[in-house]
Every structure is written in structure tokens, then in C-alpha cells.
Amino acid sequence: MIVVFGSINIDLVTRATKIPGPGETVAGPIYEKIPGGKGANQALAARRAGADVVLVGAVGADDFATHALSLLKADGVDLHHVATVDQATGAAFITVDPQGENAIVVAAGANDYAQARQLADVAIDDKTVLLLQREVPDAEGEAAARLAKSKGARVILNLAPAGAISESYLRLLDVLIMNEHEAVSLAAALGLPADVRSDPESVARTIDQTYGVPCVVTLGANGAVGWTGGVCRAADAIKVKVVDTTAAGDTFAGAFAAALERGAHFSLALQYGIVAGGLACTKQGAQTSVPYARDIESVVQERLKEDFIPGTATPSP
């Protein structure tokens, strides 16, 4: 089982000819109201990748909450541990340009009131994976990680949005996932040497070696690289026509976690994550773009066949 402790949002998305700069107004023809939030996105991604998933978070007592939870409910994510609080449901305001790149402003709302103690009634054990992000308070995320570790669970943190976390939080993790910008930000906060900070892969290697935390860095069109136990693993991006990159990172995290939870080795989990994230770029929106297991599996198996080495019993890692 995967337990996701994280944010639940409604995304207001518009497509425009460009992403506006400071003081600039850019016209967009329409906007869409789409379920989102990093926690919710990753929960749906893990569920669609085949895992049993429990989502723990908070929403407001408003119409946005119903819409924000609609796809999760439809796909069978357990929502019994989502609290309703006296705050507005979180919202994200997203502009997407013709190349599929996006700019996002997030209003936390109810997400700031999600609490680790909500996990007390969740059946967490040594077969559970706890998946975290940073759109709920870090103090609550760290408390959730500590609770899960006390019950033998594995803990994965997606360090998004970018920023610093405490060393105590970092050392609770079994895997850290970042994009290249988040890696640079964390390296600066940890005081890593300048030559390390400038190279996201070096950041991942240093975190693995110094803190004993396996670390994955996603690199957009350049795929992903991960360091675990002093060994580097990599996965090339799949070739797709990019429509919208919103939730690609969340989809990677959810699919990667789902693969680890069902027993995949680190390299194979990278493949599932990178394929799922790539497929998410081919559709608009956050949760509306998350692919299903059958589509992910088809591409992964083709990639494994291409990497098969004659004379070996299994595809190469």
C-alpha cells in the first residue's frame, strides 16, 4: 500500500501565447477547472500505476473540494482520511505556453492545515510506502515521516516546491526525488561545495554518499538519474510530442513509488517513473494527463526489450 500525505488543489488552467513577465498581462482564450495538488496528483499516479493508495490531506467545505477529489474517487483512491477544515480548498493558477511549459502560483488554503496525526488511524506497516511533497507544512511532513518509520514503512519525499528541509527530515528518507532546479536549491541550503551545487547529478551523488539517502534527479528531456549505495542508475526520457508538462514530475513520483512498492529494483522503478512522466506530457492538465498502468507497462516492456543483452536471463538494469 502507498500512503500519500500531501496537498489537494483545484487547478485553474489557461493556455496563452506566452507566460507573462512581471507587470505584463497576457490574454488566454478560456480557462479550465482541473483537479490537482501535488499530493493528490501523486496519489492518482500511484493508483493508476496499479497500487492501492490512501490519500491523507485537507480540503475546505466548498464546491472546489468536490471537484478536487472527483478523479481520485472515481479511480478508487481511499479518501477516508481527508479532513474537511474551515479554510478554502487549495488552488493553483497555471499558465501554459504553446511549447507546453508552465508557470504556477499556488494558494495553500486548507493544505496548510493538514496534520501528521491524521495518519494515526491508517494501517501503516513494513510493507507501506509513505509518499510526501512540500505543499503541506514541512513540520507535518517530517512528523508523518517519523511516524511511518516507527512502523517500519519506507519514506519517499518529492522535494517540490523547491526549498530547504532540515537534516533530521532528510535522514528519515529512504528515497529523495528532485528536479534539477530543486537539487540546486537544496545543495545551496545544505552548504555543499560550489562545484557540486552546479551539477544536479553531483548533488544526487553527494546526498547518497553523505547522508545515506538514495537520490533521484529528474532532468526533463534528458531523463532521470539516481544514486543509491554509491551506484549511479539512469533512465532516458521517452520521445513524445509535449502538450503540457503540468504534473509530469508528480506522475514520475507516483509511478516510481508504485513500482518500488510492488518490488521493482531501483533501476526498473526509474524506468516506470520516466515513462509515466513522459506520457503525462502528451495531454493537458494535471490529473487529466496521468496515464494508466497498461499504457506505462507497454512502453516499459518495449524499452526493456531494446536493452536486452543476449545470453542473459533478464533485461539489463
pLDDT at 45: 98
Which of 11, 208, 244, 250 is catalytic? The answer is 250
Quick one: which of 148, 112, 163, 156 has its CA closest to 132? 156
Structural domain contains residue 155: yes
Strands 154-158 and 53-60: unpaired
CA angle 67, 107, 166 (to 5 degrees): 115
- Of the candidates 296, 145, 160, the one whose C-alpha atom is nearest the C-alpha of residue 218 is 160
Spatial contact of 156 and 130, defined as CB atoms under 8 Å apart: yes
Catalytic residue check, 250: yes
Per residue in 83-142, pLDDT (tens digit) is: 999 999 999 898 988 888 888 888 999 999 999 999 999 999 999 999 999 999 999 999
Q: What is the pLDDT of residue 312?
A: 36
149 falls within a domain: yes
pTM of the model: 0.91
Q: What is the pLDDT of residue 106?
A: 87
What is the total residue count of the chain?
317
- With respect to residue 61, please indicate whether it lies within any of the assigned structural domains: yes
Does the residue 217 lie in any domain? yes
Range 136-139 contact pairs with CB under 8 angstroms and sequence separation of 24 or more: 136/5, 136/6, 136/7, 136/39, 136/57, 136/111, 136/112, 137/112, 138/165, 138/166, 138/169
Residues lower than pLDDT 70 in the chain: 307-317
| Domain count across the chain | 1
Indicate whether 316 belongs to any domain.
no
Task: Residue 82: give the domain boundaries.
Answer: 2-16+32-306
**pLDDT value of position 269:** 97
**pLDDT, tens digit, 9 for 90 and up, residues 240-255:** 999 888 889 999 999 9
For residue 165, being part of any structural domain is answered with yes
pLDDT of res. 308: 52
Q: What is the CATH number of the domain that holds 141?
A: 3.40.1190.20
Written in H, E and C, the secondary structure of 216-252 is EEECHHHCEEEEECCEEEEECCCCCCCCCCCCHHHHH
Between strands 175-179 and 154-158, the pairing is: parallel
Whether 313 is covered by a domain: the verdict is no
Residue 21 lies in a domain: no
